[in-house]
Structure 1
């Protein structure tokens, strides 16, 4: 095995024509030696026939069946006119059968083998000679067939390796895209919520700083609280980006217990917030808690920025193996067209993020006008189990 490997490494850089020419020279030398050592004193043209039996070998890799047949004519003539001068092991015949088995189509391969075996039996003067000739031809054919099979297997394995590489690259690209989308959602939710509250309070503060100093102080306190909360959450995200050993999930993730703080900050912005966080939720997976928190946070951000509402209601409760999250306001809402349903409402980047967060937990989130087109409603159902049933939520 080691010798074969060393031989392949040495001959890998050689031209195929050089190797085949060397085989042709060896085959011609064997044939000439057989003529020279025969008991009969053969004329010069017999030596020429012996040499010409190997003339086709340098082009065997590109040989068509016709060229191979024409190239075998000298050996046929030599076998007829000077049978005893044929070599015991004709290298040109072995290499020729090897080439047929390795490179020709299945129909051509088996047809040539059948013709050669019949010719070996008919053209040999003794049973032992016929058997030896048949074994020689079949041996070359078997070797060529094995090499052909190995080459086909190598091509199949190479194709599989290429496809596996493409799949790996595709999966890596998809993982990168998903991670970028996840980080974008985190940054959007954190900054959009905090900045919205800060802008509203900053706009309201100067208006009441003289007439109602206490309210102005509360506005500035809200700005500070929103900024500090945003900084804490941004450190979580940036910590994951900086630390290559950090897990995929941000830790610690915000949970349902922190919704009270979010609601209080929104109250300071001037909205009446009704938070219904049902008791007895039981064990809620961390990813579901984080998704519910972000969904409520983004829904409140949209209410503060766009709705013009003065009241918003938040309801979080458990229904079997599903966590229900509903955020509704009494703002101006959006026009509900006759052909548009809540599930068909597209919304902006924040609403897309809400749907993506719910989908990541195996759930569903929808947003759109409230009942009778009044206000705006965001609803989500997040399975609490690994295979929770996702149901459609109407507006």
Structure 2
């Protein structure tokens, strides 16, 4: 049974691949042979050959099938009208000349609009009842023509359904491609933000230490050595983080180290203390679980905010407060410097990156001058992971 279905599927595919004109030509030839067969295989009871009129009508009713797809209405009329004239002469083989009309009516049911279909079906049925010789023949003709019309409509519905499924599949494929492109864009933006944070932090620390090193060489050699150690440590840390980040861009999967999280914030504060910035850290409330993306975003936000203090604020001290609430983690970073960047909505790339990271996790971020005393404040709210 399965082999037969596979064979039918292959035959349908090969038939669908044939040129429509060739298929219609062979169909017209088949109808012609079938309707000529009674004239060729039977003897005329009156003696002699059959009347030429029968051959003419048979040929005239079969030829219109050649253009049934290009002009279905003309093909139907061109087949039915000659068929209705078949019995005008007595010396013809007794047979119904219906095959051409049935095929063209099927085509009309598949192709034509509803109003045209109904008009032609009514004309075919009404005209057939006028020319048939008996009620049995009329009933048989009605059943055949209605069946041909119904099969045509079923085929049209099946094709429309298949076309809708194909269009839906194509639309889903386009949506998947668009979503993949959007995901790739988000990933590229995330990688760009991470690279900006890593490089900005490392370079800022190294610049500060490099500027302080020559001053301390003559008077405080130990401090100069510490400055160079801090430069080397910042460079190594930046290289390690960049190497992990760039592994994501490789086509082949490589070993990926863990992304930095809030657990690495104390080490980050120690780097800045080595650069000469006093950093006071506090952690209040009961720590709650964060999603992996939010965990990384929290670290990057702290890193970017502290880097901005080193680069722009001219501050001597900074405060980092992590407050764990019932449904959110509040990150409050302040400094005592003069500040250079305006408030977050129109700020520089660093503050824009803080806002985007917070928004990507469903949180929010605001920044601006402190209400009390000199300095700048970055306040970020990140939602906690669901229990």
Residue 3 and residue 137 in structure 1: after superposition, are their counterparts in 2 closer, same or farther (change >3 A)? farther
Measure how far apart 1:275 and its partner are.
1.6
The question of 1:354 aligning with 2:338 is answered no
Counterpart secondary structure, 1:277 = strand
Mapped to 1, the partners of 2:348 and 2:94 lie a distance apart of 88
Aligned counterpart for 1:27 among listed residues 21, 25, 31? 31
- Which residue in 2 is equivalent to 1:325? 331
Aligned counterpart for 2:101 among listed residues 72, 93, 116? 93
The question of 1:228 aligning with 2:236 is answered yes
Mapped to 1, the partners of 2:84 and 2:143 lie a distance apart of 18
Measure how far apart 1:187 and its partner are.
1.6
Mapped to 2, the partners of 1:91 and 1:170 lie a distance apart of 51
Counterpart secondary structure, 1:331 = coil
Contact 1:201–1:222 (CA<8 Å) still a contact in 2? yes
- Which residue in 2 is equivalent to 1:390? none
Aligned counterpart for 2:193 among listed residues 173, 185, 195? 185
Segment drifting more, 214-223 vs 319-328 = 214-223
Contact 1:333–1:370 (CA<8 Å) still a contact in 2? no
Measure how far apart 1:112 and its partner are.
1.5
The question of 1:212 aligning with 2:216 is answered no
- Which residue in 1 is equivalent to 2:363? 363
Contact 1:46–1:82 (CA<8 Å) still a contact in 2? no
Segment drifting more, 222-231 vs 285-294 = 285-294
Contact 2:285–2:325 (CA<8 Å) still a contact in 1? no
Contact 1:35–1:50 (CA<8 Å) still a contact in 2? no
Measure how far apart 1:81 and its partner are.
4.6
- Which residue in 2 is equivalent to 1:5? 9
- Point out where structure 2 has 5 or more consecutive residues left out of the alignment: none
The number of equivalent residue pairs is 379
The question of 1:275 aligning with 2:316 is answered no
Residue 212 and residue 335 in structure 1: after superposition, are their counterparts in 2 closer, same or farther (change >3 A)? closer
- Which residue in 2 is equivalent to 1:56? 64
Mapped to 2, the partners of 1:83 and 1:380 lie a distance apart of 101
Residue 195 and residue 114 in structure 1: after superposition, are their counterparts in 2 closer, same or farther (change >3 A)? same
- Which residue in 1 is equivalent to 2:294? 288
Residue 179 and residue 203 in structure 1: after superposition, are their counterparts in 2 closer, same or farther (change >3 A)? same
Measure how far apart 1:170 and its partner are.
0.7
- Which residue in 2 is equivalent to 1:255? 261
Residue 91 and residue 286 in structure 1: after superposition, are their counterparts in 2 closer, same or farther (change >3 A)? closer
Alpha-carbon displacement from aligned partner over 1:177-217 (angstroms, at most 9, x marks no partner):
12212222222211210111001111211122102222212
Mapped to 2, the partners of 1:106 and 1:195 lie a distance apart of 75
- Which residue in 2 is equivalent to 1:392? none
Measure how far apart 1:292 and its partner are.
1.6
Residue 315 and residue 346 in structure 1: after superposition, are their counterparts in 2 closer, same or farther (change >3 A)? same
TM-score scaled by length of structure 2: 0.88
Mapped to 2, the partners of 1:79 and 1:373 lie a distance apart of 112
- Point out where structure 1 has 5 or more consecutive residues left out of the alignment: 337-341, 388-395
Segment drifting more, 222-231 vs 296-305 = 222-231
Contact 1:298–1:354 (CA<8 Å) still a contact in 2? yes
Mapped to 1, the partners of 2:63 and 2:90 lie a distance apart of 19
Aligned counterpart for 1:157 among listed residues 143, 165, 171? 165
Contact 2:365–2:379 (CA<8 Å) still a contact in 1? yes
Mapped to 1, the partners of 2:66 and 2:341 lie a distance apart of 83
Counterpart secondary structure, 1:220 = helix
- Which residue in 2 is equivalent to 1:123? 131
TM-score scaled by length of structure 1: 0.87
Segment drifting more, 148-157 vs 67-76 = 67-76
Counterpart secondary structure, 1:312 = strand
Aligned counterpart for 1:312 among listed residues 318, 322, 325? 318
Mapped to 1, the partners of 2:45 and 2:108 lie a distance apart of 34
Counterpart secondary structure, 2:218 = coil
